Structure 1
Amino acid sequence: MSHNITDVFFDLDHTLWDFDKNSSLTFEMIFKMNDISLNLNDFISIYEPINLKYWKLYREEKVDKVSLRYGRLSDAFKALNITIEDVVINKLAVDYITYLTSYNHIFEGTIELLEYLKPKYNLHIITNGFGEAQQRKLEKSNISHYFKTVTNSEMVGVKKPNPKMFHFALELAKAKKESSIMIGDNYEADVLGALNIGLDAICFNYHKTVITGNVKQVNTLLEIKSLL
């Protein structure tokens, strides 16, 4: 990198915090608690794409938080032809949020990368997640002390890739976009969102999505060490 970077912004879910793994373990736990017997792998394979679809709608302001939490479960059960009463779906939606941070697996290389970056840069989080949940994730996975600022979408009232998210985070961090970089897994929200306002970006492409165009990308977190 030719220019002098001072500030590094990270996405949290799917970038540092291993959302899919923690989410699966949480579902296993809450299904047991609520006496729901189903094949977890079948459920997860149906649920994950539905969840991504809902988060895209949420980013685009087409559904609210409550509809997201209920809809992703309701749609998954429907797709599996499992009949579950609304009252139970609503309880599962709440249980899921309550217990999600019981598990706090982080991606391989997270601590090593943060230890490597911390002496050299100011580190920050920009997340579309919900404030209370994101703070718990950072604390329980023991990485909150690495970050100077945390910007979540509830503080700003919009979500990435909305430019307001990035401008708000830069202001909170007292950082300039010219000397900052964004790292995240979501091409649309994190990478294009950042590049759109002139903020450099690295795509943590662990899901090996085909990305056309000249975008910096890595498949593992530790590869970032060679870019910063």
Structure 2
Amino acid sequence: MLKLNKIEHVFFDLDHTLWDFDKNSALTFEHIFKKHKVNTNLSDFLSCYEPINLKYWKLYRDEKVTKDNLRYNRLKETFDALQFKVEDELIYLLSEDYINYLTSFNHVYDGTFEILEYLKTKYKLHIITNGFIEAQSSKLKVSKLDHYFETVTSAESAGVKKPNPKIFNFALETANAKTQNSIMIGDNYEADILGALNIGLDAICFNYHKAEVQPEIKVIDHLLDIKKYL
């Protein structure tokens, strides 16, 4: 496999790409359910919650729900699907505590530190994230990832979310980078990969969840596979 030439800037997604969102999220729910005495089966809750959460993040990307709608409705809809009665007051409390405690966990994907150490001597590294700005900086700091990245572009700082071209252009401008000397690495086919390719920015899909992607897309199953390209 040919190495990519002329690349100077590497842009990463954060959640589900470097930061192990599902693992940290599960630990957060375990903690806040104990705190608030929510006696539902955690495994059943997570199985139901995870696809609902992804659905609401897509709606959020598409500007169809607000941040507050997302935070409340993903919990409300999960509890309703499980036929587990929870008062609205408690849902709001859980929603708030989830955000407060989520960033206290620091699990990253296997190979994260090794690949960042490998890349940092050769490239300038950056983050482009749709995650909420107050949470993302905490995740980077607690996970000891913050020092690897020269810039962090959030949807809130750019005013739009991936896959909107404006967030990629905003990130490139902030990093003093160009499409022809940069590459995007992320897990979400629509937001990260197609969003980047749409503006002429090359992309690598971290496809650990084995989603169906077009054959011409650069795909890795493990972060250390980035070394095939960079």
Query: With structure 1 as the length reference, what TM-score do the two structures score?
Result: 0.99
SS at match of 1:189: helix
Q: Match of 2:27?
A: 25
1:40 to 39, 42, 57: 42
Q: CA deviation at 1:2?
A: 4.5
Q: Match of 1:140?
A: 142
| 1:190-201 correspondence to structure 2 within 5 Å | 190-201=192-203
- Cα distance per residue 1:36-70 (max 9 Å; x no partner): 11110000000000000000000000000000000
- Cα distance per residue 1:111-147 (max 9 Å; x no partner): 0000000000000000000001000000000010000
Q: Match of 2:127?
A: 125
Q: Match of 1:178?
A: 180
Q: CA deviation at 1:197?
A: 0.1
Q: Which amino acid aligns with 2:197?
A: L
Q: Which amino acid aligns with 1:189?
A: A
Q: Percent identity?
A: 65
Q: Match of 1:90?
A: 92
Taking a change above 3 Å as real, the CA distance of residues 2 and 17 of structure 1, as seen in their structure-2 partners, is closer
Q: Which amino acid aligns with 1:167?
A: N
Q: Which amino acid aligns with 1:109?
A: G
- Cα distance per residue 1:186-220 (max 9 Å; x no partner): 00000000000000000000001121230000000
| 1:1-228 correspondence to structure 2 within 5 Å | 1-228=3-230
Asked if the contact 2:4/2:229 (under 8 Å) is kept, the reply is no
SS at match of 2:204: strand
Q: Which amino acid aligns with 1:80?
A: L
SS at match of 2:40: coil
Q: Which amino acid aligns with 2:117?
A: E
Q: Which amino acid aligns with 1:104?
A: N
SS at match of 1:47: helix
SS at match of 1:36: coil
Q: Which 4+ residue blocks in structure 1 deviate beyond 4 angstroms? A: none
Once residues 184 and 197 of structure 2 are traced to their aligned partners in structure 1, the CA distance between those partners, rounded to angstroms, is 9
Q: Which amino acid aligns with 2:78?
A: A
- Cα distance per residue 1:64-104 (max 9 Å; x no partner): 00000000000000000001000000000000000001211
Once residues 167 and 195 of structure 1 are traced to their aligned partners in structure 2, the CA distance between those partners, rounded to angstroms, is 12
Q: Which runs of 5+ in 1 are unaligned?
A: none
Q: CA deviation at 1:13?
A: 0.1
Q: Which amino acid aligns with 1:22?
A: N
